[in-house]
Amino acid sequence: MKLIRFGAPGSERPGVLLPDGKKIDVSEAFADYNEQFFTEKGPEKLSDWLENNAGTAPRVPQDARIGSPVARPSKIICIGLNYSDHAREAGMAIPKEPILFFKATTSLCGPYDQVIIPKNSVKSDWEVELAIVIGKKASYVSEDEAWGHIAGYCLMNDVSEREFQLEREGQWVKGKSADTFSPLGPYLVTPDEIDDVHNLDMWLEINGERVQDGNTKTLIFNVPKVISYISQFMTLLPGDVISTGTPPGVGMGFKPPRYLKPGDIMELGIEGLGKSRQEAVAYKPGS
Ligand code: ZN
């Protein structure tokens, strides 16, 4: 199944992208794709509901904006330097255990929304990533158990301001959390549709030029490992998003470095998880 959310920012409704390409509105039966939905085995119930109702459910309007496929979660957790070749381009050591950092949940946005280059930004950058959505509360889970805690996977752009992230004091969170810095989607794909999550091609283009080209097979810490690892330090709640790291080709790694300018177009994709596209725009006061 491919879960989508549609409508204006902040008032999105749940929908499903059917295998024939139709998008249907499921809001008459499901309130939203949020913690409660995943806690109450929402994807299983949704699948059952679709068997009887997919044909008669209202269609999503053609011109509807597509939002993040999950409602604002309790946490967006990211893994840093999780591809060895990206660690190298960043001039950093390959980590011995996963590096964790947060993004503010207010950074979440839709897959085709504009990305706002923050006020005073000089080094805004891109990162195509595989994101995991948690389906079942996870605390101290083993790697074997971790698979049972996954609701699905999404395409994510971990947009990053490198000066805020690396040249100011303290944690990376400052460079990761601006509004619109987490375009997620176009959809959440349930695990049954993904043959091998550790062998998915991924890419990102800037103005049509391919800058990132990778595959999840070169993850240092894989999907069950990162879920199990994070759950040793905090409880993962249904609907939480984990972004698993980026392959090489970020702007910071170019010589000289390249950063986003207003008007730049980021297009990205992961095999089986769809494509997204964001235009970078300048911050405007009051926006
Ligand atoms: Zn990242």
How do the pLDDT tens digits run along the chain, 287 residues long? Answer: 999 999 999 999 999 999 999 999 999 999 999 999 999 989 999 999 999 999 999 999 989 999 999 999 999 999 999 998 887 777 888 889 999 999 999 999 999 999 999 999 999 999 999 999 999 999 999 999 999 999 999 999 999 999 999 999 999 999 999 999 999 999 999 999 999 999 999 999 999 999 999 999 999 999 999 999 999 999 999 999 999 999 999 999 999 999 999 999 999 999 999 999 999 999 998 76
Predicted pLDDT of residue 54: 94
Q: Which two tokens stand for residue 116?
A: 């706002």
84 lies in the same domain as 193:
yes
Residue numbers of the domain that contains 164 = 76-282
Ligand 1 mean position, distance from CA 238 (Å): 21
- 3-state SS class at 24: strand
- Does some domain include residue 123? yes
Q: Are residues 9 and 128 in the same domain?
A: no
Confirm whether 70 is domain-assigned: no
Cα–Cα dist 236/149, whole Å: 9
Q: In whole angstroms, give the CA distance from residue 34 to residue 56.
A: 24
Number of domains in the chain: 2
33 and 92 in a common domain: no
Centre of ligand 1 to C-alpha 127, Å, is 6
Distance 226 CA to ligand 1 centre (A): 14
Question: What spacing in Å lies between the alpha carbon of 34 and ligand 1's midpoint?
Answer: 23
Within a domain: residue 68?
no
- Residue 62 inside a domain? The answer is no
Question: Is 80 within 8 Å of 112 (Cβ atoms)?
Answer: no
Q: Do 80 and 147 reside in the same domain of the chain? A: yes
Distance 26 CA to ligand 1 centre (A): 32
- The DSSP bridge pattern shows strands 265-270 and 209-215 to be unpaired
Task: Determine, yes or no, domain membership for 33.
Answer: yes
- Give residue 207's pLDDT: 98
Q: Same structural domain for residues 124 and 29?
A: no
CATH code of the domain containing 201:
3.90.850.10
Q: How many residues would you count in the chain?
A: 287
CA of 165 to the centre of ligand 1 (A): 11
- Residue 7 has what pLDDT? 98
Give the distance (Å) from ligand 1 centre to CA of residue 56.
40
What is the 25 CA–ligand 1 centroid distance (Å)? 32
Q: In angstroms, what is the span from residue 80 Cα to ligand 1's centroid?
A: 6
Tell me if 275 sits within 8 A of 69, measured CB to CB. no
Query: Do the domain assignments include residue 64?
Result: no
Q: Within this chain, do residues 96 and 42 fall inside the same structural domain, yes or no?
A: no
Angle at 254 between CA 252 and CA 257, to 5 degrees: 55
Residue 241 maps to a domain: yes
Q: How far is the CA of 104 from the centre of ligand 1 (A)?
A: 13
Whole-number Å distance, alpha carbon 159 to ligand 1 midpoint, is 8
Asked if residue 206 and residue 100 are part of one domain, the reply reads yes
- Ligand 1 centroid to 277 CA: how many Å? 17
Tell me the CA–centroid distance for residue 236 and ligand 1, in Å: 19
Distance 45 CA to ligand 1 centre (A): 32
For the whole model, what pTM was predicted? 0.96
**What's the confidence (pLDDT) of residue 234?**
98
24 occurs within a structural domain: yes
